[in-house]
Chains A and B, each alone.
Chain A
Amino acid sequence: MAYAGITVVMWGLNGLFMKLGTNRASARSMVIWVTVGFLLLLPFLWAETRLAGLETRVIFVGLFAGAVNGLGNWAVFACLEKGAKASVAIPLTALYPLCTIALATVFLHERPSARQWLGIGLALAGGAMLSYETAPAAAPEEQIHCGR
């Protein structure tokens, strides 16, 4: 379970870094720097595997998925830039499997199990409650400093 623990720490830290980053740079700039961060890992990935032998269709799907992921990163950075708290935005956007299940249901004709329906219900309720705000989202010490 050590690797799973490392993953929780890395992804958990990412949520904090996303907020700290958008306090100092625009969402668009952050997408650029994050992509550079991903590129830094590319040599390690190339050392382990190659793309040779993959079908053109799979390569296209993977590249398109990467582009969609990049745009998703921009949306979440913009969300944080607009004043969302990291403690709200990160758990809320972690509900994205809900959308994946909906797409798989429509296009792959998969049927959610009873357990997944329970998860969907909890996700919808949790998402609505997380977005419940009665006060300005950004605390004074969290004001955005993107120089725009």
Chain B
Amino acid sequence: MQIDSWRFPAWLWYALIGIFLWGLWGFLSKIGADTANPLQMQILFTLGMLPVAGGMLLHTRTKLDRDVGGITYGLLCGVVTGAGTLGYYAALRHQSASVVTPVTGLFPVLTVILAFVLLRERLNKVQMAGMLLALASVVILSI
């Protein structure tokens, strides 16, 4: 294994911002879910995303990427995330959250496998061990 000094990659800042924002989203969802049902929350989330998308549209103006592949993957991201969320709530109607949530928390495993096979991504040994710890923590935290 190659041992170099650890460096703070630029992408990591964005990952930390993403963790904070999604964490805040989880916190707000927890508050809202006290009285709203999951489908109502999903509608509100979608409507709440519109100003952000509008802001991005204003910022990009004529530079909005119209690559067919980019548009397709973007639309697919929205559809599969929303469909996955609906599947999650449907699963909760048949099983307890203590079973469904840890199982669905394993979704990064599929992403890693797909990235390994289709994108030929390779993790170093430290990252591989980190991924296993992260997955274990996702399951434990979701119980």
Contact = CB atoms under 8 A, between A and B. Distances in A.
Contacts of A55: 35
- Say which size band chain B's interface belongs to: 35 or more
Contact residues of B: prevailing secondary structure: helix
Given A54-B35, A66-B44, A99-B26, A37 B79 contact: yes
Interface string B82-111: 111111101100110001100111111111
A83 to B, nearest CB: 5
B51 A67 contact: yes
B56 A28 contact: yes
Contacts of B56: 28-29, 31-32, 74
A5 B110 CA distance: 11
Contact of A69 (B9, B25, B75): B25
A119 B110 contact: no
Nearest to B143: A115
Given A37-B74, A68-B24, A84 B9 contact: yes
Contact of A19 (B15, B23, B45, B115): B115
B104 A8 contact: yes
B23 A99 contact: yes
Nearest to A116: B141
The residue among B9, B15, B85, B118 with the most chain A CB atoms within 10 A of its own CB is: B15
Contacts of A37: 74-79, 81-82
Contacts of B39: 45, 48-49
Given A38-B82, A118-B140, 5 more contacts: A93-B19, A103-B23, A123-B141, A128-B130, A135-B2
Q: Give 3 nearest A-B pairs by CB, closest first.
A: A37-B78, A66-B48, A99-B23
Interface of A: 1, 3-21, 24-26, 28-42, 44-46, 48-51, 54-55, 58-59, 61-76, 78-80, 82-104, 107-108, 115-116, 118-123, 125-135, 137, 139, 141-142, 146-148
5 contacts: A7-B91, A8-B84, A66-B44, A89-B15, A129-B127
